[in-house]
Each structure stands twice: as structure tokens, then as C-alpha cells.
Structure 1
Amino acid sequence: MKFSSLVQKNSSKIIFIILDGIGGLPINGKTELEAALKPNLDSLAKTSACGLHIPVSHGITPGSGPGHFGVFGYDPLKYEIGRGVLEASGLGIDLQKTDVAIRCNYATIKDGVITDRRAGRIPTEKNKELTERLAKEIEEIDGVRLILSPGKEHRFCLVMRFPDNITEEEAMVSDTDPQKEGKPPAEPSPLNEKSKRVAQIAGIFIRKASEILKHEEKANFVLLRGFSALPHIPPFEERFGLKACSVAVYPMYRGITKLLGMKAVAVEGDIKEEIETVKRVYSEFDFIFLHIKKTDSYGEDGNFEGKVKKIEEFDAFIPEILSLSPDVLVITGDHSTPSLLKSHSWHPVPLLIKSPYVLGGTVSSFTERECLKGELGIIPATAIMPLVLANSLRLRKFGA
């Protein structure tokens, strides 16, 4: 039985919100969700189906790509998408079968050691200036065209466009990001015999970029990660029968949804601007995905209070979201990012599904510990979309 054979269309509306990295761990006895004053989220949780989801598998810490693919109903162990492809797609680069895409960071290096992996989160305008300089001075390496595009803050994207088609195997090169400050950058290393050329070109690019950037105070080095080529993924609308769009500030998350065939709506600003965009496009789509990034950023920075304040800021917009009267509202995260760890983690992620067809009344607030008491229990992330379709009455009965 194909899951798609059970899908039926109707006029129901679904809003699906990801508070990136929302899960946390206690500091002084409370997680970020427990410390936040969030009356609207807590009130919503009381009448919703709540639980926790596992993004990939028990004990596995997911990247953002796998985290999002799981909640969108795609097994991240089957559909493994490189971050480079996600970033390039989000930045509007029309990727081809000849391309290897790489997600890059500007970084700070001193005496051969990385002192800041994100170059102090340089302003986006500075990023644009530096990326334009690199693009102008490094147009080609060994007959391979280089396409560079700036992202937000310290992030940019590099696409190597080869004369011939590239397989996913040929793009398998190790990251150069050491993942922690105080360590030297790694060399781009081929992970198989076929990826030697990509690794070689990456090494040349790093050396050339370092020479160009060497006088910069902060962004004087580049780190490369997520080497990847285009995969094949079944479209979201074909799989779930939903005309879908995404509203996201950061390019990588638009890239994820574009790969799934969603309409990616670019937006500048923060939560207020994103909510206004959701209102503007609401009538055009069955499924609207809204991505909130800074909960994850503060978690990665170890900024407990910053993450708490961002949760509280989002909470204030809940009434505006509810004013649209969606038939199903989902609020969750793609993974946990505890400020305690300053990184993504393997911990289950709080999940809330609001619809007329839930039990409700099992939790008193939207927190990790309360969601453990919820009617959903602890489920795999890939179970979320079937539950969303069921609650929007978009799944037929199975069997006689």
C-alpha cells in the first residue's frame, strides 16, 4: 500500500511552525521553555495533542537538513541531503546535474587555529562585500566554474560547476570545519576514489580565498561543509496532496522546501515580518510552513536568556496566527539545541498539534517535561505528517 493512495483533498488549512532547535536542557533547574513566560503557547498546549518526536533515531544528533526532512515526512536515513544543496537552493541558485554545492562559513583564524567559526556573525552587508570580492578574483579553477552567493551573516555558498554530470558519490568530501574553536581547520579529504578532484579543487579554493581575506580583522578564513550533489526526492504535493509554501528568512530552510517542490517565499526581517507574510499568502495554499531561526542560533551560542526571550517574542504573535483560524496548527522544532551544550543534540523535541479532533487536556504547558505527559507520547518525526493529514481529514480509511 502506497501512503499517497490514502490521501484525499479538501479545503482544510494547515500552518506548520518550526521553532528551530527549540528543545533544551535544564540550567539552574529549568529548560529555556520552562523559564520562558509564554502564556499563549501554554494555553494552546492545554487544548492540543502534545508529545515529543525523535528527529532521526534514538541517540542520533541531527543536522538541520535531516531534522526538517523528518518532520516533513521523509525518512532522513533514506533521503540524505547535503547542506550545500540546501543552501544553494535557498539562495536561488539553479542547481544542475553538473554541480557540487558547498555550504561555507567565514571564520577567524589566528596562528593556524580557528578562534571563531562564525567570524563574529559578521553583518550580512559585509558578507556580500567579501563574497563579491572572492567571486571576482576566483572565477575558475582547473576548468571548473565557481559560483559564489552570499547568505545571512557569516554564511555563503560555493557551487563548483563541472563540464560533465556529477554523481552524489563524486561529491563526497569531508568538511573542513573543526566544529569547535581552538582547533586547526581540517583539509578537504576525498571520502572515496571518485571524489579526489572535488577535494583538490576545494583545497585550492581555500588557499586562494585565505590569501584574499588575510587582512580582514574577523572574516580572514573560510570553512567548507556539506559537499553535495543533486539527489532525487518525491515532491511534497505528490506525496501528501498539499499545495504548500514556506516562509523563512534563512536561505537553507527555503532550500529544503524548494527541493520538496514547495513555493519558497523569501522574507527579510524577523518574526513580525514572517507573520505578515504568512497572512499575505494564507489564502493561496493548503499548507504553510513557517520557520523561526533564532531559537537555534541562541542555543548554539550558549545564550540561555537570548533563547528564552526569542521564545517569549514568538509567543506574543500566537494570537495573530490563531486569528487565521487554521484547521490544523503544528508547533515543534527540527531538533533540540540546548544552550547547555551549545550545539544540536539527540534529545526528543516538543510537539503540539492543535485541531478539533484531539483529546487535549493532558498537559499544563508547552515544555519538554509536560509534553512527556501528552497523548502523542514519543513518536518518530516521520509520524507527524500522517497525524497532520488525519487531523485535517485528508486521509481515507484503510481497508473495508
Structure 2
Amino acid sequence: MKYVLVIPDGMGDKPLASLGGKTPLEAARTPNMDFFAAHGVVGLSQNIPDGFTPGTDIGCMSVFGYDPKIYFTGRGPLEAAELGIALEKDDLAFRCNLVTAEGGVLKDFSAGHVSVAEARILIEVLGERLREKHGERFRFYPGGGTGYRNLFIYHKADPGMARIVSTPPHDIMGRAYRDYLPKGKGTDFLAALMTESREILENHPVNEKRAENGKARANLIWLWGQGVPPHFPSYHKRFGFQGAVITAVDLLKGIAIHAGLDVIAVPGVTGYFDTNYTGKAEYAVNVLRSRDFVAVHVESTDEAGHMGDAALKIRAIEDVDRWVLGTLREKLKEFEAFKILILPDHYTCVETRTHSPDPVPFLIYSSREEKRGPRKFCEKTAAESKIFVKEGHTLMNLFVKGGVLPS
């Protein structure tokens, strides 16, 4: 049996008046998802446990079958793993976004999707200038694949700093950012670095050129998602097979590394609307020729939600359905038997432009044991099924090992 996991990030949403009371998934044309749903099982999965901030870190840890209450130590260390950064026991790893601020307001959590090349220049200059002033107690690292996603490592951090309060920048767009600077023990220094970054970045030649071209300035860093290195059991130990993950997102690559799964590089994968959808599916099939499990993660559905654009989110969902699931539906026929699990990690709501902890729709299809499911895969039909996985991290075990889905 071959096992395929497809994660359209943030695909879940709430009904929109502009769509006649439908969600983007409900309004989208998704013949391939609908085929798998009509011949499979659909339900809802609670990927975000009570008390946790809804995010890709928590949601995807649940999707991959790891209980966040036990294994989650922060987003930063997962991304550090993908960059090959060996963290010491007293290192604290933070996500470091390049963002756009106008006046005192945070306008864009991605700095207009600043390019990787531009981000590398800005992060390197920032690190040099701030270390000249403050010494070698920290270091900045450019991200692996998306310009605005970078990393900050604080050396010899006080253990209590792992419990400080930090806020994801995508949750505070349009708000006064100084109200959301890190809070807790030792955060005055972090807040000072963030404030000083604007003085360094605002008029840097990279930003001057971006402004001349009508692009947003990457003029502020935002530190959040701090944590220490996690430890959790590998997929081989849990399920007895080898597998791989295909994604453009450092966080997912970090989860893969800690789970003992290979990270597969696909040409043209961007984590945005122009990503190589078909290539992801084709490489996934190739993975299954030598392994038994592959996960394909797509970020564009999440990006559209954060942009507050329902039409763009529908298009992203349809692109996933046509180019990823359509390709998989055709090419997986070469294997004797396969199962596919499709679900988002969380909602990314068009109306609020941020995440929501609602239970997400999922579907499971097995080529060996077809069922009778709904004709349409969406939040509504998933709820109507009465199947509800209360602890989302248990769904992967049910998918691989079988068992009765809870109601």
C-alpha cells in the first residue's frame, strides 16, 4: 500500500456573503477532490488543540500525527532544522519575518513577498550592524526558500524566555505593531532589536529600489515563534516505512527532518501562486516508486486567505485540484494499491485574513476499498458526515493503520 498526504494549507474557511453563503472550497470547481470524496470517507478533524494559537506549526504537527501538547516546542527550531543549524541546549530559535511598516502600523507580514535575493542582502546587513552594536550573543540566518521567512538565534538565552509571549505578524496586519512587541522576561532587548532594525532597513538601497518600482519596503523585522529543539519519534519507528515531504516551506521541511522523512526538492516550487503544482505531483509519484509514504504541501491556498481575496483563494484551490490531485489521480494508477488523505492544517479566513482554530474537513480514499461518500468535498459535507476526530494528531494513525473513524 502506498500512502499519500496532500495538505492545501489554510484551505478551510467560513461562508462568505460575496459567495452566496458558500466557502471558497464549496464554491470552487474541484472534480478530483469530489471524486475521492464520493468514493471515500469525509469528516472533520480538530487539528488545533484548545489553548494553542492556530498556525501551520500546530496544525501540521497534528496532521503528521504528533500531539502538539507533547512534542511542540516552538516554530523557530523546526525551521532551524531545515537550514541545518545545530542548536545548542541554551539556544532559542525565532522566526524572523521581514515585514512592512508604515508609520506605526504593520501593513504586510511578507513585505510584499520580498525576494530571496533581496532578503538575503537585508538580513546579512542587519546582522552585521546589530552585532557591531550588541556583540555576538545572537545571529540572523536567511531563510531557505521564501524571502520574508528568516531565522534569528539567541545564544545562551535564559530558559524562561521560551515562555515569552510573541505574536504572529499575519495576525496583526493593519494594527499598531508596538502593541504586539514580545512580552515577558528578557524581551526588552528583543524589542530594541526590532525597533533598531527599522532604522537600518528603511532607506537601504534594496528598499529604495523596491519603492521606486512600487513595491513594499521590507523595513522591519518581526521576531516570533520562539522555541528550543524538539524530539519526536520517526515515521520509520512509528509505521515501519520510509517516506518524503514535498514543500516550499521551511517549517514543513523541519517537521520532515525531525520525523525522519526525506525532503524532496522540486524545480519551480515557490510557496506562492506561481508554484510548480504539476511538478510536485510528479515528484510525489516518483517518491512512491522507492518509498511508501509521501506528503505534498501547498502554500498558495493559505496566502490567498491572508490576502483576503476570495476569488484568488478559489483559484488556488482549483489549481491544487487540477494540477496536483488531477495528476495524482491519473498517475497513482501504476501502483497496486494506494490511500490518499486530503486536509488543510487550519482555516485561513478570507474575511479576517488570519487563521482560525475550527475543525477542518478531511477525506480519505482507498483504491482497495471504495466507499459511498458525498458528491462534493467541503466544510459543509464534512460536518454533515458526523465523523469527528477530536484529537487531530490521531488521524494519521487511523489513515495508515486503519480503524473506525470516531463520530
State the Cα distance separating 1:152 from its structure 2 match: 0.8
- 1:149-172 Cα distance to aligned partner (Å, 9 max, x none): 23513221112233xxx6754433
Residue of 300, 305, 309 corresponding to 1:299: 305
Amino acid at match of 1:315: D
Partner of 2:76: 84
Residue of 361, 381, 400 corresponding to 1:350: 361
Please say if residues 50 and 375 of structure 1, whose CA atoms lie closer than 8 Å, have aligned partners that are also in contact: no
Answer with 82-91 or 372-381: which moved more.
Answer: 372-381
TM-score (norm 1): 0.85
- Consecutive unaligned residues of structure 1, counting only runs of 5 or more, are 1-11, 396-400
Residue of 309, 314, 319 corresponding to 1:308: 314
* Whole-angstrom distance in 2 between the partners of 1:361 and 1:58: 32
SS at match of 1:320: helix
Alpha carbons of 1:33 and 1:187: their partners in 2 closer, same or farther (altered >3 Å)? closer
* Whole-angstrom distance in 1 between the partners of 2:230 and 2:303: 28
Alpha carbons of 1:189 and 1:299: their partners in 2 closer, same or farther (altered >3 Å)? closer
Partner of 1:4: none
Answer with 92-101 or 213-222: which moved more.
Answer: 92-101
* Whole-angstrom distance in 2 between the partners of 1:374 and 1:181: 38
Partner of 2:287: 281
Answer with 244-253 or 126-135: which moved more.
Answer: 126-135
SS at match of 2:384: coil
* Whole-angstrom distance in 2 between the partners of 1:58 and 1:142: 40
Amino acid at match of 1:50: V
* Whole-angstrom distance in 1 between the partners of 2:373 and 2:385: 5
Alpha carbons of 1:53 and 1:98: their partners in 2 closer, same or farther (altered >3 Å)? same
Partner of 2:228: 229
Alpha carbons of 1:328 and 1:127: their partners in 2 closer, same or farther (altered >3 Å)? same
Residues 119-158 of structure 1: pairs in structure 2 closer than 5 A: 119-139=111-131, 141-150=134-143, 151-158=145-152
Alpha carbons of 1:61 and 1:48: their partners in 2 closer, same or farther (altered >3 Å)? farther
* Whole-angstrom distance in 2 between the partners of 1:225 and 1:293: 20
Amino acid at match of 2:178: P
Say whether 1:206 aligns with 2:194. yes
Residue of 14, 17, 37 corresponding to 2:6: 17
CA RMSD of aligned residues (A): 2.5
Alpha carbons of 1:32 and 1:138: their partners in 2 closer, same or farther (altered >3 Å)? same
Residue of 177, 186, 191 corresponding to 1:184: 177
* Whole-angstrom distance in 1 between the partners of 2:302 and 2:240: 30
Alpha carbons of 1:60 and 1:99: their partners in 2 closer, same or farther (altered >3 Å)? closer
Say whether 1:364 aligns with 2:375. yes
State the Cα distance separating 1:181 from its structure 2 match: 1.7
Please say if residues 19 and 333 of structure 1, whose CA atoms lie closer than 8 Å, have aligned partners that are also in contact: yes
Please say if residues 49 and 375 of structure 1, whose CA atoms lie closer than 8 Å, have aligned partners that are also in contact: no
State the Cα distance separating 1:280 from its structure 2 match: 3.0
* Whole-angstrom distance in 1 between the partners of 2:67 and 2:364: 20
TM-score (norm 2): 0.83
Partner of 2:338: 327
* Whole-angstrom distance in 1 between the partners of 2:35 and 2:386: 16
* Whole-angstrom distance in 2 between the partners of 1:42 and 1:302: 25
- Consecutive unaligned residues of structure 2, counting only runs of 5 or more, are 212-216, 270-274
Alpha carbons of 1:160 and 1:279: their partners in 2 closer, same or farther (altered >3 Å)? same
SS at match of 1:55: coil
Partner of 1:71: 63
Alpha carbons of 1:248 and 1:360: their partners in 2 closer, same or farther (altered >3 Å)? same
Alpha carbons of 1:136 and 1:41: their partners in 2 closer, same or farther (altered >3 Å)? same
* Whole-angstrom distance in 2 between the partners of 1:43 and 1:279: 19
Amino acid at match of 1:319: G
SS at match of 1:366: coil
Alpha carbons of 1:204 and 1:226: their partners in 2 closer, same or farther (altered >3 Å)? same
Amino acid at match of 1:257: A
SS at match of 1:77: helix
Say whether 1:160 aligns with 2:154. yes
Partner of 1:42: 34
Amino acid at match of 1:171: A
Please say if residues 172 and 190 of structure 1, whose CA atoms lie closer than 8 Å, have aligned partners that are also in contact: no
Please say if residues 105 and 177 of structure 2, whose CA atoms lie closer than 8 Å, have aligned partners that are also in contact: yes
Alpha carbons of 1:172 and 1:60: their partners in 2 closer, same or farther (altered >3 Å)? closer
SS at match of 1:363: coil
Partner of 2:110: 118
State the Cα distance separating 1:292 from its structure 2 match: 0.7
State the Cα distance separating 1:341 from its structure 2 match: 2.4
Alpha carbons of 1:306 and 1:153: their partners in 2 closer, same or farther (altered >3 Å)? farther
Partner of 1:374: 385
Please say if residues 96 and 151 of structure 2, whose CA atoms lie closer than 8 Å, have aligned partners that are also in contact: yes
Please say if residues 195 and 220 of structure 2, whose CA atoms lie closer than 8 Å, have aligned partners that are also in contact: no
State the Cα distance separating 1:21 from its structure 2 match: 0.8
Answer with 352-361 or 212-221: which moved more.
Answer: 352-361
Alpha carbons of 1:262 and 1:185: their partners in 2 closer, same or farther (altered >3 Å)? farther
SS at match of 1:212: helix
Please say if residues 75 and 382 of structure 1, whose CA atoms lie closer than 8 Å, have aligned partners that are also in contact: yes
State the Cα distance separating 1:13 from its structure 2 match: 1.4
Amino acid at match of 2:89: K
Please say if residues 175 and 186 of structure 1, whose CA atoms lie closer than 8 Å, have aligned partners that are also in contact: no
* Whole-angstrom distance in 2 between the partners of 1:167 and 1:285: 42
Please say if residues 389 and 395 of structure 2, whose CA atoms lie closer than 8 Å, have aligned partners that are also in contact: no
Amino acid at match of 2:356: S
